[in-house]
């Protein structure tokens, strides 16, 4: 990187002399990137608002964090790492909505940060985009970190007793679920509604994006007029991908497409090689109370047969379950955070946690209704508590994956730490005199 900014350079408000006053200041230069006083203040305010504890002087800690981010971002640019804009937009809207819900109104939020919502959104877009790029860069740097059973055992044996992690109470749960049957009349009602939307767009009587904002039941994309952002074929469910990638005219609307999420119509925005940007409208058939009762009654019959030992839970899953994520694994649920089968109670869907709280291993629940968070629709289910463990110190027999993750996390942290120290030596860094003298995590800045 080359030096293009003078450390301590002042940005001056254009006022008649001698009324000029400093409104911002370059406090660090990392390569050819500046860190401004205002950036530090912004991060300090955000941390304060979100209740984050900064363990030390924020005017030392925050600039160093920003400097480290710039090292990662520069490397990510060299490695051509990018993130999808639709994902960034969704994250920004979620954060802004959370902030507004906490402070009470958009006006109060603007008053707190002393800037309009449009400016906050733009700055947050940059911040979130950078965070995602940095995360991908770190994943790339550590993707080859692997471990062997021998390494895990040596690591475990080297840990003092008081350094062993405490493993909270955990459970393993099997689930059998299916969706209540949807009457043909309801399906036809949904299709008729989508055909109406399609005809209105094709005739020029309505804008697809506006209809998506008003009616689509994919709430996140609806905020952006149904737009999904550029995605590859593998990021979409097969039925949707086939229809979307067959579109060639942005003025046309696809046929009605059925997926596990409901029924869609799709409009092409742009194609770039193997990636596509499109918008869609999703409608889901409504399930009546009678349909739910029928499904729960069927599940109750299955549950009674399991308890009477006429069939095992695993056999029932094979015969009846519609959950493709667990049907081939005897119904065993997988924790998305670490891909294990063990859950802390609070990590389970609340409806399931409520069912198993008083159960013993081997028990099967009564039928219940729950929300499938992936499909955003109601399903009916029964669950079996396969295993549970009390809070305890981690050991290799019961908690091998916990120890493995701890070992690999430390290896990744060490690798990242060494990478930062190496880049620190290779990168031009200059710090304004008033911002030196800190007890930094990496002490060789600017040397």
CB within 8 Å of 387: residues ≥ 6 apart: 171, 172, 361
- Domain assignment present for 36: yes
Domain match, 191 and 134 both: no
Domain match, 309 and 263 both: no
Instruction: Give φ, ψ of 166 to 5 degrees.
Output: -85, 125
Q: Is residue 367 within 8 Å of residue 351, measured between CB atoms?
A: no
CATH number, domain of 374, equals 3.10.50.40
Interval 260-283 mean pLDDT:
92
In this predicted structure, what is the pLDDT of residue 20?
40
Q: What confidence category does residue 324 fall into, taking pLDDT thresholds of 50, 70 and 90? A: confident
Domain match, 93 and 172 both: no
Average the pLDDT over each of 26-30, 135-139, 395-399, 404-408 and give the range with the smallest value: 395-399
Q: Is the bond preceding residue 18 a cis peptide, omega within 30 degrees?
A: yes
CB within 8 Å of 58: residues ≥ 6 apart: 40, 43, 44, 47
Classified as helix, coil or strand, 350 is helix
- Domain assignment present for 318: yes
Domain match, 274 and 309 both: no
In this predicted structure, what is the pLDDT of residue 12?
32
Interval 414-418 mean pLDDT:
96
Q: Choose between 94 and 332: higher pLDDT.
A: 332
Domain match, 298 and 357 both: yes
CA dihedral 318, 321, 322, 327 (to 10 degrees): -50
Q: What are the C-alpha distances in Å from 93 to residues 90, 124, 125, 383, 410?
A: 5, 9, 9, 35, 33
Q: What is the mean pLDDT of the chain?
A: 88
Q: Is residue 225 within 8 Å of residue 210, measured between CB atoms?
A: yes
* Degrees, nearest 5: CA angle 296-301-302: 95
Q: What are the C-alpha distances in Å from 366 to residues 324, 346, 363?
A: 22, 20, 10
Looking from the CA of 300 toward its CB, the CA atoms found within 13 Å total 8
Interval 68-81 mean pLDDT:
93
Residue 292 has pLDDT above 60, yes or no: yes
Interval 113-120 mean pLDDT:
87
Q: What confidence category does residue 110 fall into, taking pLDDT thresholds of 50, 70 and 90? A: confident
Q: What confidence category does residue 373 fall into, taking pLDDT thresholds of 50, 70 and 90? A: confident
Give tens-digit pLDDT for 203-228. Answer: 999 999 999 999 999 988 998 899 98
Structure token digits, residue 349: 């869907």
In this predicted structure, what is the pLDDT of residue 172?
94
In this predicted structure, what is the pLDDT of residue 136?
94
Residue 361 has pLDDT above 60, yes or no: yes
- Domain assignment present for 442: no
In this predicted structure, what is the pLDDT of residue 7?
37
Domain match, 177 and 188 both: no
Helices (H), 79-162: 85-103, 106-113, 117-142, 149-158
Q: Choose between 128 and 47: higher pLDDT.
A: 128
Interval 27-52 mean pLDDT:
87
In this predicted structure, what is the pLDDT of residue 23?
64
Give tens-digit pLDDT for 156-179. Answer: 999 998 899 998 999 999 999 988
Q: What are the C-alpha distances in Å from 371 to residues 102, 177, 375, 382, 390?
A: 25, 11, 8, 13, 28
Q: CA-CA distance, 202 to 196, in Å (whole number)?
A: 10
Domain match, 114 and 42 both: yes
What is the domain count for the chain?
Answer: 3
- Domain assignment present for 406: no
CATH number, domain of 55, equals 1.10.4030.10
Domain match, 98 and 19 both: yes
Give tens-digit pLDDT for 419-435. Answer: 999 999 999 999 999 89
Classified as helix, coil or strand, 379 is strand
Residue 28 has pLDDT above 80, yes or no: yes
Q: Which domain holds residue 314?
A: 167-181+288-393
- Domain assignment present for 241: yes
Looking from the CA of 418 toward its CB, the CA atoms found within 13 Å total 7
Domain match, 355 and 340 both: yes
pTM of the shown model:
0.62
Q: What are the C-alpha distances in Å from 117 to residues 89, 93, 105, 217, 262?
A: 14, 11, 11, 26, 34
Beta bridge partners of 265: 281
Residue 13 has pLDDT above 50, yes or no: no
Interval 340-354 mean pLDDT:
90
Domain match, 22 and 68 both: yes
């Amino acid at each position: 990187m080359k030096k293009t900014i003078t450390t301590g350079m002042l940005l001056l408000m254009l006022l008649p002399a001698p009324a000029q006053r400093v409104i911002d200041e370059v406090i660090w230069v990392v390569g050819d990137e500046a860190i401004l006083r205002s950036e530090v203040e912004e991060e300090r305010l955000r941390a304060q608002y979100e209740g984050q504890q900064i363990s030390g002087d924020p005017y030392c800690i925050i600039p160093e964090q920003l400097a480290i981010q710039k090292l990662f971002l520069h490397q990510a640019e060299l490695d051509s790492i990018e993130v999808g804009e639709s994902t960034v937009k969704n994250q920004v809207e979620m954060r802004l909505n959370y902030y507004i819900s906490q402070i009470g109104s958009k006006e109060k939020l603007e008053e707190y940060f002393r800037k309009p919502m449009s400016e906050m959104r733009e700055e947050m877009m940059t911040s979130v985009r950078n965070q995602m790029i940095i995360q991908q860069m770190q994943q790339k740097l550590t993707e080859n970190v692997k471990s062997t059973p021998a390494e895990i055992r040596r690591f475990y044996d080297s840990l003092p007793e008081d350094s062993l992690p405490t493993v909270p109470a955990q459970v393993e749960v099997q689930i059998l679920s299916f969706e209540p049957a949807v009457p043909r009349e309801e399906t036809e009602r949904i299709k008729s509604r989508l055909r109406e939307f399609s005809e209105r767009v094709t005739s020029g009587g309505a804008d697809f994006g506006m209809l998506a904002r008003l009616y689509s039941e994919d709430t996140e994309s609806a905020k952006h007029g149904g737009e999904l952002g550029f995605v590859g074929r593998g990021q979409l469910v097969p039925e949707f991908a086939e229809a979307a990638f067959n579109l060639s005219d942005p003025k046309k609307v696809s046929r009605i497409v059925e997926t596990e999420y409901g029924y869609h119509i799709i409009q092409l925005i742009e194609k770039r090689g193997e990636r596509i940007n499109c918008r869609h409208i999703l409608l889901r058939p409504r399930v009546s109370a009678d349909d739910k009762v029928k499904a729960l009654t069927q599940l109750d019959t299955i549950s009674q047969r399991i308890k009477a030992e006429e069939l095992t839970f695993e056999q029932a899953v094979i015969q009846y379950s519609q959950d493709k994520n667990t049907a081939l694994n005897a119904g065993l649920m997988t924790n998305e955070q670490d891909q294990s089968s063990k859950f802390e109670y609070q990590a389970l869907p609340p409806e399931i946690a409520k069912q198993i709280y008083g159960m013993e291993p081997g028990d099967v629940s009564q039928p219940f209704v729950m929300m499938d968070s992936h499909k955003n629709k109601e399903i009916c289910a029964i669950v079996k508590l396969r295993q549970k463990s009390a809070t305890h110190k981690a050991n290799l027999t019961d908690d091998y994956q916990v120890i493995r993750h701890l070992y690999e996390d430390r290896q990744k942290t060490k690798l990242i730490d060494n990478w930062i120290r190496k880049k620190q030596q290779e990168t031009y860094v200059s710090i304004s005199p008033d911002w030196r003298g800190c007890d930094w995590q990496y002490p060789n800045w600017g040397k």
